[in-house]
Structure formats: C-alpha cells, structure tokens
Chain A
Amino acid sequence: MLLRAPGPTGKRILACVDLIFKALADPTRRKILDELSENDGQTLFELCQRLVVIHQIGSTRQAISQHLAILEEAELVRVKRKGRYKFHYINIAPLQAIGQRWTGKK
C-alpha cells in the first residue's frame, strides 16, 4: 500500500507503508530517529559517536549505515550532500500521514 501526503498536496506518494513500519520495527533505528530529532543534520561519524556514548549502542559504522539505508528507503531519513559531506535529517511527513490514517477521520 502506498502512502500519500495529507492535505491538498496529497498527490505525492510518500513511501510504501510496509517500508515505514519495517523501518520503525527496530529499536536501533528508532534511536537513530530520536538522535536526529534532537540534533538534525548529522554525519555518520557523529551519529555513531552519539549512539555509542549516549545510548550505549555499540554497532559498527557499517551496521549503522545499513540502518540508515532502511530509514532512507522509508523516507524517514533524508540525506543532503554539502560538498564532499553527507548529512542525515529526520523526515516526519510519513509519520504524520500514518497518524492521519486512523486519527484523521471521525
């Protein structure tokens, strides 16, 4: 099933709902979203550092990079390149659309 953005711009497909729930099903990926919601726009290096020292998540950079790819596929994380660097940002639009699916109609 495809998810559309709420409101008048709802034509655009956000992401496949299954991908969103799959992405959210993992505790490390939820911690990544927690981290980005507190400090948006982090490099992989910073994210790994924060996950280790703040959350005691000792996953390798390789593993965190794979988690980020799954979050990106679900459009929960967006990547912006600035020059040679890559920064990760949280994107809450799919979550809002999910919320509206059940709470939006009465």
Chain B
Amino acid sequence: MRIYISSIPIGNYDKALTFYTEVLGFVKKRDNEMAHGIRFITLVSPEDPDGPELLLEPNANYRGIKALRDALAEDGIPITSFAVEDVQKEYERLQALGVKFTQKPMSAGGWKSAVFDDTNGNLIEIAEVPEP
C-alpha cells in the first residue's frame, strides 16, 4: 500500500487549474472526463513528476466540505502543506504574483513555514521540512 493522492476541494476547475498551474507551478498529470462535466484532474510537481498527485475535487458546495472549510479558514488552518526549498523566497515570489498570505514566514524549532490563500477557498501551508 502506498500514498499516491491528496485532494483539494475546489469550486471551479478552470479557476483552480489557473492558480495551481500558473501561480504555484504544478503540471497536469491526468485529465479524464468521468461523466458529463465531471473530470478527474490530478496535478504533480515538476520537481517530482512520479510523486504523489493532487486531485482537484469539485465538492466546494457539499455542505460538509463547506462547514469544514469555513471553520478552517476562520482559524487560519491550512488544508494541506507543500514542501519548498526556501520559504522566504517562495513567499516573495508568490506575493509578487498577488497571492495573499494569512501567515508570514516564521521560523521555529527547525521548521519554517507560511500560509496563503489559494483563491479557491483553501488555505495552504508551504514549509521547509527538516529530515525526520
């Protein structure tokens, strides 16, 4: 058994694709039409094309997800976390592209992280992850 996918709730495929590919820099791995209007879209990092995939799941209007996302947003809790080489550099790059951060880069106990709004209703953490 292995971990291969992680899903992000979204409301609109095109809006999410624009942000996740053009701003964050991920690339599309799969885009299959499952049924009318329902696509199975996954993204991967160009740095790790065989690594775990990110599924864009169009469930933003499902009441359970809506309640979860509202609660997480209010308390500033990210829905997932992506690893970066340099949090400060990535923070500056994303800020220059107009990305809004709810948490500026902070460094403590060997971790460095920041949190931003993905414009699709989620908060995402970027982190410099120390060796286990």
Q: Which A residues contact B (CB, under 8 angstroms)?
A: 39, 42-46, 49-50, 53-54, 61, 65, 84-87
Contact = CB atoms under 8 A, between A and B. Distances in A.
Contacts of A43: 75-77, 102-103, 115
Nearest to B76: A43
Given A61-B75, A86-B74, A46 B108 contact: no
Nearest to A61: B75
A49 B106 contact: yes
A73 to B, nearest CB: 18
A42 to B, nearest CB: 8
Interface residues of B, number: 15
Nearest to A85: B102
Contacts of A61: 75, 77
A86 B75 CA distance: 6
A82 to B, nearest CB: 8
B109 interface: yes
B111 A46 contact: no
A44 B75 contact: yes
12 contacts: A43-B76, A43-B115, A44-B76, A45-B75, A45-B76, A49-B106, A49-B113, A53-B108, A53-B111, A54-B109, A87-B76, A87-B102
A46 B76 CA distance: 7
